[in-house]
Structure 1
Amino acid sequence: MLQVSDAEAIIFNLVQPLDQKWDREVVTLLTAIDRILAIPVTSELDFPHWDNSAMDGYAVRYDDVKGANKEQPTALEIAFEIPAGVKPLRPLKSGQAARIFTGAVMPEGADTVVMQEQTQIEGDRVLILEAPKNQEFVRHRASFYQAGEQLLPPGITINPAEIAVLAAAQCREVTVYRRPRVAILSTGNELVAPDELLHMGQIVDSNQYALAALVAQIGSEPVPMGIVRDRPEYVKKAISQAISIADVVLSSGGVSVGDYDYIDKNLEQLGATIHIRAVGIKPGKPLTVATFPKPKTKQRVLYFGLPGNPVSALVTFWRFVQPALRKLSGLTHNWQPKFVLARSCNDLTSDGKRESYMWGQLHLVNGKYEFLLAKGNSSSGNLINLAQTNGLAVLPIGQTHVSAGEQVQVLQIN
């Protein structure tokens, strides 16, 4: 049985990110949100596109106004007006000022903007009541970004801010990584779908839906494959179909040591290399990780045999599968699990034999994290109080107690 850190290292080393050349597609800007950028983006435009005003006021020559003050204001002729979006009519001469608005193009000859609050109008003249700084309130062409340089790097998530940048750069289409395909299947004779009649001894297959939602939430494409009955030939056929269509396969159930646990045997028969069979984590000890070669490529299909217990399945997904999928998707940074230090609001206990994960809610209070253990029975069989979970408090091997008010490491899961 591997320790959690060893299992993590094995899994992350097995993950081969999508190929930058072959595993990409072009999408429209309006559909690019939350996608992973596959190639660098450059622009032929400078930002700003031209020298422009950062303030409503008057465009002037600094040498004309550098000595202005309230006692001896400088009077300038108002030569013309420049609204935003309008090309200046002509160059600005010495002794002149141009009425200018925020974002408007600076006229040739002007190098400084005087904000209107520091001026006074007298007929066709403007009085400058306070000397500005040289080039004050002028946004110079290419001071934000110079045409031809890298605007956005590959391997980042396209969020609304990046959408705005791409739109401003007139990128109507974007090259992104394709979404990793994740096949999901549940094994067990006792399972029924949510729309089926529940008989004595049966349970609803919640794992299929939870795992599909988790996969979609992090930007991958879930491929639900339904329930597979506990017969070796059925399990083998389902796994064979799954590895033929997906980058990653998630199965739940069938990875323990019971008479009806066929996953590992079928993986071996299908030619898989099994890297992990069990991990010292609670909940989630029975975890299988295997790989299959992809025909005609250098990539591999990554297989996760998760526990059938719904809580265990979700905990092992959050701890191992979620970061693996994020790395696979093409992210170059911030795909790793994120842990924060939080003050526990409850006493936390463990037997200390395995690295223990306890679910609950993580809150930021006055700039510091607090962890509130989920109410009710915290047994791994209690799926109900997993609702609203956004953090997993971690007690390492050998630690059996954290008192309320003490610090604890918490895995952020959303």
Structure 2
Amino acid sequence: MITVAEAERGVMESMGRLPTERVRLKEAHGRVLREGITADRAGPPFDRATLDGVCFRFSDWAGGQREFAVDGVQAAGAVPLPAPEPGRCLEIMTGAPLPAPCDAVLRVEDFERIDGGVRARDGVELESGTGVHPRGSDFAAGDVLVPVGCVLTGREIAVAASCGRETLEVTVQPKVAVLTTGDELVEVEDEPKPHQIRRSNDLALRATLAAVGCTKVELNHLPDNPGAISWNLERLLQQADVIVITGGVSRGMFDHIPGVLEELGVKRVFHGVAQRPGRPMYFGTFERPGDFLHPEDTRVVAIFALPGNPVSAFTCLHRYVLGGLARMCGIEQSVPEGTLALANEVRRHPELTLFLPVVLGTGMDGRWSAVPRASNTSGDFASVARTHGFVEIAPGAGSVADGDAVPFRFWR
């Protein structure tokens, strides 16, 4: 068996890169940006008032003037008025352009109205630049505001809209096929017999994939029949970008997946990882050539075959599949997985990396910590539903002491 680090490296180095497409801005949320968004003009594009009030030359205020005649009202979005005469002011609204050489705004709460003008209230202090958002102080025209490789959220969409980008170049949505196997599995709505269980892996995996923006997910379930498995996998290898299989991957009499994949021409990258849960995990790739009309459209299909036990499948999905999908989609700025201090001592396994479900807790100092909640074997999915994520315990001798920092990942 290979190590967890070697398995992760094997996945990342094997993932192909999906092509791009152009979509309308209002359809771009959750997609992966494949072109930088640059500023079409300075931001802000003019000296902008940040307060409702009156604007004037600060030199008048510095000279002791506290009463100002009002020459007009400058509203946001209105054509800019000419600057007031020295010693006079304009009433101005938040977001409106500030006419040069005005360089200070006295907020409306700090003055009282007098006949034809305003008078500053006693004790009010003012500095040059108060209430002014200077032109170009946020960014210059041509600056890259959103880099390639980020997942588009409301923040990036707002920036793109402000730059006049009606469309954006994004990664095409990956086509993911989830294939479950096992004669013991029945539909959710069925009444299982004493020797059967309801199917849950496919729904859990699809929900997690949807949470990270993968919406094109096809679900399939097959019996432990090598002929049926082969026929369906042959079809999926020609249609999907990623295939995630659960079950049939170990070394038992009915574990047909590795042999079928080999017969179909899948290149095995690894089979077996020194980890718990998920030791029998398999990963391979299949190069699918383009068709007659698009010979250049070669795709590298990624095949993840995960153990059928629910905790194993769910954990391996988070540890390997989600990262591989991010690489395939061109994500350069994925959310980093952090570390947390253990709340309890955990004994290491001498050879296996341990993935332990945890809940988040806080100590007397208010800092977050990870409280291990070991599951009752890798089939105990109910216990995982009561946890927030999992920590990774490297193999070795001895224990990891309480208070030691360990890698942590949230469930999605």
Report if TM-score (shorter chain) is over 0.5. yes
Q: Give 1:79's match in structure 2, choosing from 48, 68, 71.
A: 71
Kindly indicate whether the alpha-carbon contact (under 8 Å) linking 1:273 and 1:290 is maintained by their aligned counterparts in 2.
yes
Tell me by how many angstroms 1:389 deviates.
Answer: 2.8
Pairs within 5 Å for 1:115-264: 115-128=107-120, 132-264=126-258
Relative distance call for 1:404 and 1:145 in structure 2 (3 A) is closer
Kindly indicate whether the alpha-carbon contact (under 8 Å) linking 1:355 and 1:395 is maintained by their aligned counterparts in 2.
yes
Tell me by how many angstroms 1:107 deviates.
Answer: 2.7
Q: Could you give the per-residue CA deviations for residues 343-381 of structure 1, whole angstroms, max 9, x where no partner exists?
A: 32x453454331111112234666522222337x53212
Relative distance call for 1:246 and 1:400 in structure 2 (3 A) is farther
Q: Could you give the per-residue CA deviations for residues 137-190 of structure 1, whole angstroms, max 9, x where no partner exists?
A: 222223223334323222111112223223333434333222211111011222
User: Where does residue 331 of structure 2 map in the other structure?
Assistant: 331
Tell me which amino acid in the other structure corresponds to 2:59.
Answer: D
Pairs within 5 Å for 1:365-380: 368-374=367-373, 377-380=375-378
Kindly indicate whether the alpha-carbon contact (under 8 Å) linking 2:341 and 2:402 is maintained by their aligned counterparts in 1.
no
Relative distance call for 1:339 and 1:50 in structure 2 (3 A) is closer
Number of residue pairs matched by the alignment = 403
Structure 2 residues without counterparts, runs of 5 or longer:
291-296
Q: Secondary structure at the match of 1:221?
A: coil
Q: Work out the CA distance in 1 between the residues paired with 2:78 and 2:217.
A: 53
User: Where does residue 289 of structure 1 map in the other structure?
Assistant: 283
Tell me by how many angstroms 1:118 deviates.
Answer: 4.5
> TM-score, with normalisation over the residues of structure 1?
0.89
Q: Work out the CA distance in 1 between the residues paired with 2:237 and 2:108.
A: 68
**Identity in percent:** 29
Q: Work out the CA distance in 1 between the residues paired with 2:329 and 2:335.
A: 9
Kindly indicate whether the alpha-carbon contact (under 8 Å) linking 1:61 and 1:112 is maintained by their aligned counterparts in 2.
yes
Q: Work out the CA distance in 1 between the residues paired with 2:174 and 2:205.
A: 14
235-244 or 36-45, which moves further after superposition?
A: 36-45
152-161 or 35-44, which moves further after superposition?
A: 35-44
User: Where does residue 306 of structure 1 map in the other structure?
Assistant: 306
Pairs within 5 Å for 1:398-413: 398-399=396-397, 401-402=399-400, 407-413=405-411
Tell me by how many angstroms 1:233 deviates.
Answer: 1.3
Kindly indicate whether the alpha-carbon contact (under 8 Å) linking 1:340 and 1:412 is maintained by their aligned counterparts in 2.
no
User: Where does residue 43 of structure 2 map in the other structure?
Assistant: 47
Relative distance call for 1:224 and 1:164 in structure 2 (3 A) is same
Q: Secondary structure at the match of 1:370?
A: strand
Q: Work out the CA distance in 2 between the residues paired with 1:233 and 1:353.
A: 36
Tell me which amino acid in the other structure corresponds to 2:209.
Answer: V
Q: Secondary structure at the match of 2:63?
A: coil
Structure 1 residues without counterparts, runs of 5 or longer:
none
Tell me by how many angstroms 1:88 deviates.
Answer: 3.6
Q: Secondary structure at the match of 1:224?
A: strand
Q: Work out the CA distance in 1 between the residues paired with 2:134 and 2:349.
A: 64
Tell me by how many angstroms 1:298 deviates.
Answer: 4.5
Q: Work out the CA distance in 2 between the residues paired with 1:153 and 1:409.
A: 27
Tell me by how many angstroms 1:331 deviates.
Answer: 0.8
Report the aligned-residue RMSD. 2.4
Kindly indicate whether the alpha-carbon contact (under 8 Å) linking 1:40 and 1:151 is maintained by their aligned counterparts in 2.
yes
User: Where does residue 352 of structure 1 map in the other structure?
Assistant: 350
User: Where does residue 390 of structure 1 map in the other structure?
Assistant: 388
